[in-house]
Amino acid sequence: MAAIDYIIILFYFLFSIGIAFLFSRRARTNTRQFFLSGQSLPWWITGTAMVATTFAADTPLAVTELIRSGGIAGNWLWWNMVAANVVTVFFFAKLWRRSGVLTDIEFIELRYSGKEASFLRGFKALYLGLFANCIIMGWVNVALAQILAHLFNISHSYVLFIVIATMLFVGIYSAIGGLWAVAVTDFVQFIIAMGGCIVLAVVVIDKPPIQGIDGLIQSIPKNALLFFPSGDSSSLPLSAFLLFVGVQWWASWYPGSEPGGGGYVAQRMMSSKDETHSLKATLWFTIAHFALRPWPWIIVALATMVLYPNIPADQSKATYVFAIRDYLPAGLKGILVAAFLAAYMSTIATHLNWGSSYLINDLYQRFMVKGKSEKHYVYSAQVCTTLLAIVASLLIFVIDSISGAWAFIIECGAGIGPVLMLRWYWWRINAWSEIIAMIAPIPAVIISRLVLHIALPYNLLIIVPWTTICWVVATFVTQPVNHDTLTAFYHKVQPEFGFAPIRKALHYPPGNYQTFMILLFQTTLGIIATYSLLFGIGAVLLRKTGACLYLIAFAVSFVLVIYSFRMTKK
């Protein structure tokens, strides 16, 4: 890289730390400021920050690998999650904001009662906040190391030093500025990351032998341009596609697309100004995440099929980095490196703040050190954030590959989705329902994989029914949640329907099932709008017929969604 490239990257780092110091005084006020930005974020910052978090450094590389192996249709491995996100928008975003909890794990003791609820809260805080969170960040570090190695062709030890230094830098600004700094830098980082990806797409498709979008279309197999899987799609057979869109999105827990919302998505919803901002933020996140963000990556991925036709399959994802290295001039190359660093840092910063919120609010303050001042817990959160950064950075020495890990996460969470959604509306769900739904998939995964030799997504047909039977039985053979807890939960959250015995005991009117139908109608429109915009943009870029129909469907469904908002306002 030239001197201008390094200047651009240095300026980006200085900007990030400057944002942290700008919000440092506000972050030190109390834990709600540190973890939820005082619940004052506007929807456009909140939603964009969610998109930035899910834009990890390796995401364009993963999309490139999917497309090179199975064409555009290979993206249904994650496009199927649109429905889960849209359901969260209309059914759960307002409820999360209304709950008033600091974390989605704190919600457990708001909704459930008994020692089993306390155990579930403490276990999930430790498991998700420390173990799972650090593994995820460790893998993101490995991905960045691979990117830098391909981009600069430098020694492994030097790459490790750069990644660890960057990780610790993110830990410092996350600890200093809290969620305000994380969200604002996420907002800017998303603009940088997407801007860089768009620049790369524009530059690469003009290079010979492609020379424009028409040349790209003529140079690659027609099957690679299909939006839906066909019989000869090697990466995603039609049967697998049907299982993903018909079962996986509602049945499985998956980071960033949890049924009913959860994790850092729930944190961002709860950090919004009010219920309306929470809903708008989640809707913007869904549209940007699925419909707007992928196309620059897809165009570059298709271009690499022409520019690097003979790359081995195990190196296919690296072709995205090769395109940066081989085709960008000085200045633009620095912007792309900054874009990848922005994608990396936005993901890591959110995971540090989110994981720290679990460990401090749901473990340290709840079970270990009670009754201290807010200043003490904010300081503890800053220390915890820094320690998480150190632990996750050290995992780069022990994590070599994550092949199949995301499939394993989906399998181990298969069947818990209905519990996570129904707990908001069905009074009989209790802590044992959720505990059993977390445990039951494990033997089913082992049997389906090791005994029956059935892998994802086909083993969902085994895991989901088994898990469902287990948690339903557990629900009815254990005691229901304490009546006072259910009453307090209902008063605070006020779900529009469900909880019939509680409504009756309190002499409330029956649930408003007209509202349920309106929400279902909005959800259907939201799914249509998201997919229509996704395929409409793709059809325009790739000169496909039907582009106008897709865009008209998006416009009509989106306008109807906006119009219907007034029908659910109180």
pLDDT at 213: 92
548 Cβ neighbours under 8 A, 6+ residues apart: none
Please count the CA atoms within 13 angstroms of the CA of 492 that sit on its side-chain side. Answer: 16
User: What does the alpha-carbon distance between residue 500 and residue 509 come to, in Å, rounded to a whole number?
Assistant: 9
Alpha-helix runs per DSSP H in 80-155: 82-87, 93-99, 107-111, 115-126, 133-152
With 50 as the cut, is the pLDDT of residue 310 above it? yes
Please report which confidence band the pLDDT of residue 235 belongs to, taking 50, 70 and 90 as the band edges. low
Percent of the chain residues past pLDDT 90, beyond the cut: 47
Tokens of 247: 């079962």
User: What does the alpha-carbon distance between residue 356 and residue 381 come to, in Å, rounded to a whole number?
Assistant: 6
Q: Using one digit for the tens of pLDDT, what is the confidence trace for 151-172?
A: 887 787 888 888 888 888 888 8
Percent of the chain residues past pLDDT 70, beyond the cut: 96
**3-class DSSP state for residue 414?**
strand
Q: Using one digit for the tens of pLDDT, what is the confidence trace for 182-214?
A: 888 889 888 888 988 999 999 999 988 888 999
The fold for domain 3-400 equals Sodium/glucose cotransporter (1.20.1730)
Q: What angle do CA 519, 521, 524 make, to 5 degrees?
A: 110
The dihedral region occupied by 365, where left means phi > 0, alpha psi between -120 and 50, and beta the remainder, is alpha
CA distances from 180 to 35, 174, 264, 291 (A): 8, 9, 14, 26
Is residue 290 within 8 A of residue 532, CB to CB? The reply is no
| Backbone angles phi and psi of 398, in degrees to 5 | -120, -15
Average pLDDT, integer, range 47-74:
88
With 50 as the cut, is the pLDDT of residue 402 above it? no
**Mean pLDDT computed over every residue of the chain:** 88
pLDDT at 403: 47
- If one counts every other C-beta atom within 10 angstroms of the C-beta of residue 548, the result is 11
User: What does the alpha-carbon distance between residue 324 and residue 380 come to, in Å, rounded to a whole number?
Assistant: 41
User: What does the alpha-carbon distance between residue 75 and residue 80 come to, in Å, rounded to a whole number?
Assistant: 9
pLDDT at 94: 92
Average pLDDT, integer, range 218-234:
80
pLDDT at 232: 56
pLDDT at 9: 82
pLDDT at 24: 86
Q: Domains of the chain: which residue ranges?
A: 3-400
Closest C-alpha to 83, from 235, 234, 238, 259: 259
The owner of tokens 């960057």 is 166
Q: Using one digit for the tens of pLDDT, what is the confidence trace for 4-17?
A: 878 888 888 888 88
Indicate the pTM of the whole model: 0.90
Average pLDDT, integer, range 20-28:
85
Is residue 15 within 8 A of residue 338, CB to CB? The reply is no
The owner of tokens 């497309």 is 67
Q: Using one digit for the tens of pLDDT, what is the confidence trace for 83-124?
A: 999 999 999 999 999 999 999 999 999 999 999 999 999 999
Lowest-pLDDT range of 38-42, 88-92, 138-142: 138-142
H and E: helices and strands count for the chain:
30, 0
pLDDT at 408: 74
pLDDT at 74: 86
Tokens of 3: 């001197």
With 60 as the cut, is the pLDDT of residue 419 above it? yes
User: What does the alpha-carbon distance between residue 109 and residue 25 come to, in Å, rounded to a whole number?
Assistant: 31
pLDDT at 258: 82
Q: Which residue has the higher pLDDT, 569 or 439?
A: 439
Average pLDDT, integer, range 297-325:
90
Tokens of 503: 């409504």
Q: Is 130 exposed, middle or buried (CB count within 10 Å of its CB: 0-12, 13-18, 19+)?
A: buried
**3-class DSSP state for residue 568?**
helix
With 80 as the cut, is the pLDDT of residue 568 above it? no
Tokens of 277: 């901002």
pLDDT at 163: 87
With 50 as the cut, is the pLDDT of residue 452 above it? yes
Q: Using one digit for the tens of pLDDT, what is the confidence trace for 254-309?
A: 777 788 888 888 998 999 999 999 999 999 999 999 999 999 999 999 999 999 99
Tell me 273's DSSP state. S
